[in-house]
Amino acid sequence: MAEFIHLKIKRQNGPNESPRWEEFKVPYKPNMNVVSVLMEIRKNPVNAQGQKTTPVTWDCSCLEEVCGACTMIINGNVRQACSALIDKMPSQVITLEPLSKFPVIRDLKVDRSVLFEHLKKVKAWINIDGTFDLGPGPRVPEKERRWMYEISRCMTCGCCYEACPNFNARSSFIGPAPLAQVLRFNNHPTGAMDKEARLETIMGDGGITDCGNAQNCIEACPKKIPLTTAIAKLNRDTTLYSIGRWFNR
Amino acid sequence: MSKNKIIVVGGGLAGLMAVIKAAEAGVEVEAFSLVPFKRSHSLCAQGGINAALNTKGENDSIQQHFEDTIVGGDFLANQTPVKGLVEAAPGLIYAFDRMGVMFNRTPEGLIDLRLFGGVKNRRTAFAGATTGQQLLYALDEQVRKWIAKGKVKEYIGWEFLSAVVDDEGICRGIVAQDLNSMEIRAFRADAVILATGGAGMIYGKSTNSVICTGSAAGAVYRQGVPFANGEFVQFHPTAMPGDDKLRLMSEASRGEGGRIWTYKDGKPWYFLEEWYPAYGNLVPRDIASRAIYKVCVEMGLGIDGKNQVYLDLTHKDPEFLEVRLGGILEIYRNFYGEDPVKVPMKIFPAPHYFMGGIYVDWNHMTPIPGLFAAGECDYMYHGANRLGANSLLSAAYSGYICGPNAVKYIKGLQKSAEDISQKVFDRELNRQAGIFEAIYRMDGTENPYTIHEELGETMITHVGVVRYDKNLKLADEKIQELMERYKRINVNDTGRWANDVVPFVNQLWNMLELARVITLGALNRNESRGSHYKPEYPDRNDEEWLKTTKAYWTESGPRFEYEDVDISLLKPRARKYD
């Protein structure tokens, strides 16, 4: 392994500033990951040319790939920086770029608030009457629970959005992750009571028909959530629902 | 007058539960969080949440949960509040169940339970090995519903800087900073609930997220709120050693049959099973951590001569492990590159949880009226050592009662925050703005991240699993040296937009202040109790030390007072697990 880790980072001072590349050489230690390399830089903010610079701004929190905060583009691929292990990367230059489909705040930090807005749109919750003690919820077969749990592990990191050719800063596409949530909530015994409202939403503008079936999302998802299967299943649900709606007119 | 507004600071389990309870009571809520709620540290809780549901035919009971918690905490927890906690537990689990939490199920579709440390009955409900994540997401979803209804307003990416306290000593709001625009602003509120979590970052590397600096707790400590039981810091026995973070490997792995061992005389030695036949691998965390420390550090029997032992699941069925522990298997595979289903995991104790925290009364109000605290940032439920799977419970429960308590408090107020002179808010705002302007001007030679790293090394070396007076004194000297060097920091970034360094420098001072509280609290407490272990005073000393530590901020360092513990329900007895 080389003595130094050579990084090329796409930096940008603010939302309306133009981006620039800056290179860094960080002394190699075993077991590093992209976050720990960025942490080394802030202890000695000097670039590869030996010039003093500002520490790199980026988001991170849990460092165990559960929170989704440190999502960025590493060597051209969208992923979490904490689980991007240096020892497993080709030893040439490592490039870091902010997600391209969300507004840059500064350097590698982007504004992903739209992800949460979309969860709001599809009513990704169970409409309980209150938190008071009403006894247990409905029984759930373990088999059903397993696939719903897989979907409920979505950390809203934005990888699937970044990979999706049908989503960009100007598109109204609701994105793969919230669609999977619709399936999960529509199949929960209580969640199913708001099934129609969720289906109506995803049958509207920016809904499920905006999915071009590129299947990039499933490749990009760090949690291997069966996004494409979920979308396929929802396609059927929306079709059945619209036929039913037509009959009940 | 009264608009009845509550501010909740912190978007983890306690904070979100408080938000929901306050919103349900019809009060306007503003919720502040460093990160989108979904990214709060509660999601790193893995193994489960305790409630005596007694659905396994083991005669489990509320009383047994109570006793296990009190004994597990080595009798330092106030017993009346703990009683409230364990009584509410089943109802809380059911509320989560109704929110759609994907708890693992029995063949009948009921919530399944598993075994955890320091107990004999199955009492822990779980969602794979990402229970904290699943509970947090459920509350996040519920809060999103309230936001969509327009009843809750969120401030994401804002950091709490201080409480606004009026001339009568009543809390009337907060001063907070937008971490993008760097704007510092004062917000009015009739009650403020801090749910700002633990402070693992004081130890540099821990199982905590990097946002767990304890800075908010440090800030109100500096405003006169006592910090209680600071010396009680839980080391989780089973974390992956690492250079950037010590990643938790849930206690559930032992609850599901995992065994801890190392080699002795060339053969596997299951030292916990040998030393503690009654509880085996499921002794409470303080005991397991001390045993692993002893085996590695004192006996030199760590695997490959390093500070690590095996946590072994390889004898278990792979599918069983995926369904019940998938989340941690994934972390170990991703970060270590080995498969725990096939090869034993290497683990060592790591700083994990602060039993101590902001001093509150049984309604979760601090001595500053109107300022409340809930969740890991308070000190209430775990005494000298927390039992596994009781933290998600105490986080949820404290938010659950703190929200309504805050609502009750504001109903009794004479004056609303809206009636308070603007001067009161400007005064605190200007004070904070002044602190930040001074930080922007820091152009010395010291790097704040290096000072933080040295703080962590000092704490983990000298204020860790085993504590000696000599080392505690060394640690305090070192912290004071770092406080001197702090004054010569260079911020390296004077930008006024999304500047990460300047807020960190502010957090760092609060960490240094709390580090002294922890260290000196440990130096003073001449006994061994729960997580606080001093070989020079190896026994628990109820006569002198069955007392809550209360540290008060002074210019020259913490001043300590001690308060009797409520032992009205269970008489202290020897704590035995062998």
The model's pLDDT over B23-49, given as tens digits with 9 standing for 90+, comes to 999 999 999 999 999 999 999 999 999
The model's pLDDT over B367-400, given as tens digits with 9 standing for 90+, comes to 999 999 999 999 999 999 999 999 999 999 999 9
Contact (CB<8Å) A69/B35: yes
On whether both A148 and A161 belong to a single domain, the answer is: yes
User: What pLDDT is recorded for position A90?
Assistant: 84
Extract the tokens encoding B578.
């062998």
Pick from B48, B44, B17, B15: nearest CA to B32: B15
pLDDT band at B553 (very low <50, low <70, confident <90, very high): very high
Provide the pairing of β-strand A94-97 with A71-74: antiparallel
Ranges of residues in chain A with a pLDDT under 50 are none
The model's pLDDT over B464-501, given as tens digits with 9 standing for 90+, comes to 999 999 999 999 999 999 999 999 999 999 999 999 99
Please name the residues between 13 and 52 in chain A that touch chain B, using a CB distance below 8 Å: 13-14, 29-33, 35-36, 39, 42-45, 52
Task: Provide, as residue numbers in chain B, all residues whose Cβ is less than 8 Å from the Cβ of A30.
Answer: 243
- Whether residue B472 lies within 8 A of chain A, CB to CB, comes out as no
On whether both A75 and A18 belong to a single domain, the answer is: yes
Please name the residues between 172 and 191 in chain B that touch chain A, using a CB distance below 8 Å: 180
On whether both A86 and A54 belong to a single domain, the answer is: yes
The model's pLDDT over B197-210, given as tens digits with 9 standing for 90+, comes to 999 999 999 999 99
Please report whether residue B141 resides in a domain.
no
Extract the tokens encoding A77.
């691929």
On whether both A188 and A85 belong to a single domain, the answer is: no
Please name the residues between 51 and 70 in chain A that touch chain B, using a CB distance below 8 Å: 52, 54-55, 57, 59-69
Pick from B184, B227, B223, B187: nearest CA to B435: B184
User: What pLDDT is recorded for position A121?
Assistant: 96
Do residues B177 and B417 touch, judged by C-beta distance below 8 A? no
Nearest-angstrom CA–CA distance, B79 and B83: 6
On whether both A89 and A156 belong to a single domain, the answer is: no
Task: Provide, as residue numbers in chain B, all residues whose Cβ is less than 8 Å from the Cβ of A82.
Answer: 244
Q: End of a domain among A48, A79, A110?
A: A110
Q: Where residue B488 sits, what CATH number does that domain have? A: 1.20.58.100
Task: Provide, as residue numbers in chain B, all residues whose Cβ is less than 8 Å from the Cβ of A148.
Answer: 102
Q: What percent of chain B has pLDDT over 90?
A: 99
On whether both A54 and A133 belong to a single domain, the answer is: no
For chains A and B, what is the number of CB pairs under 8 angstroms? 196
pLDDT band at B2 (very low <50, low <70, confident <90, very high): low
Closest CA of chain A from B245, distance in Å = 7
Please report whether residue B506 resides in a domain.
yes
Q: Residue written as tokens 């000196």?
A: B520
Q: Identify residue B424 by its one-letter amino acid code.
A: V
Look at residue B257 and give its three-state secondary structure: coil
On whether both A68 and A83 belong to a single domain, the answer is: yes
Residue B174: which residues within 8 A CB-CB, separation 6 or more?
B7, B9, B32, B160, B161, B162, B163, B164, B186, B187, B189, B192
Contact (CB<8Å) B244/A32: yes
Please name the residues between 312 and 331 in chain B that touch chain A, using a CB distance below 8 Å: 323, 327, 331
- Gyration radius (Cα) of chain A, Å: 21
Evaluate if residue B1 carries a pLDDT over 50: no
**Mean pLDDT, residues B113-127 taken together:** 97
Do residues B9 and B160 touch, judged by C-beta distance below 8 A? yes
On whether both A121 and A219 belong to a single domain, the answer is: yes
Q: End of a domain among B306, B335, B351?
A: B351
Q: Where residue B333 sits, what CATH number does that domain have? A: 3.90.700.10
Extract the tokens encoding A176.
């793969």
Extract the tokens encoding B178.
């937008």
Residue B86: which residues within 8 A CB-CB, separation 6 or more?
B52, B62, B65, B66, B69
Look at residue B264 and give its three-state secondary structure: strand
User: How many domains does chain B contain in total?
Assistant: 2
Please report whether residue B14 resides in a domain.
no
Task: Provide, as residue numbers in chain B, all residues whose Cβ is less than 8 Å from the Cβ of A185.
Answer: 100
Nearest-angstrom CA–CA distance, A164 and B318: 34
The model's pLDDT over A138-152, given as tens digits with 9 standing for 90+, comes to 999 999 999 999 999
User: How many domains does chain A contain in total?
Assistant: 2
Catalytic residue among B285, B324, B516, B525: B285
Task: Provide, as residue numbers in chain A, all residues whose Cβ is less than 8 Å from the Cβ of B334.
Answer: 65, 83
Nearest-angstrom CA–CA distance, A40 and B187: 36
Q: What are phi and psi of A35, to 5 degrees?
A: -65, -45
Kindly compute the dihedral angle of the four CA atoms of residues B112, B118, B121, B126, in this order, to the nearest 10 degrees: -10
Do residues B357 and B377 touch, judged by C-beta distance below 8 A? yes
Q: End of a domain among A85, A110, A135?
A: A110
**Mean pLDDT, residues B65-81 taken together:** 98
Mutate to test the interface with A, among B102, B113, B130 (most CBs of A within 10 A): B102
Q: Where residue A40 sits, what CATH number does that domain have? A: 3.10.20.30
On whether both A172 and A202 belong to a single domain, the answer is: yes
Residue B150: which residues within 8 A CB-CB, separation 6 or more?
none
The model's pLDDT over B207-235, given as tens digits with 9 standing for 90+, comes to 999 999 999 999 999 999 999 999 999 99
Domain assignment of residue B478, given as a range: 423-547
Q: Where residue A204 sits, what CATH number does that domain have? A: 1.10.1060.10
ipTM of this complex prediction, to 2 decimal places: 0.97
Q: End of a domain among A64, A79, A110?
A: A110
Do residues A176 and A214 touch, judged by C-beta distance below 8 A? no
On whether both A173 and A214 belong to a single domain, the answer is: yes
**Mean pLDDT, residues B168-194 taken together:** 98
Residue B565: which residues within 8 A CB-CB, separation 6 or more?
B75, B76, B77, B78, B79, B383, B546, B547, B548
**Mean pLDDT, residues B362-371 taken together:** 98
Tell me, yes or no, if B559 is annotated catalytic: no
Mutate to test the interface with B, among A31, A32, A62 (most CBs of B within 10 A): A62
Task: Provide, as residue numbers in chain B, all residues whose Cβ is less than 8 Å from the Cβ of A57.
Answer: 498-500
Domain assignment of residue A144, given as a range: 113-247
On whether both A179 and A99 belong to a single domain, the answer is: no
Look at residue B205 and give its three-state secondary structure: coil
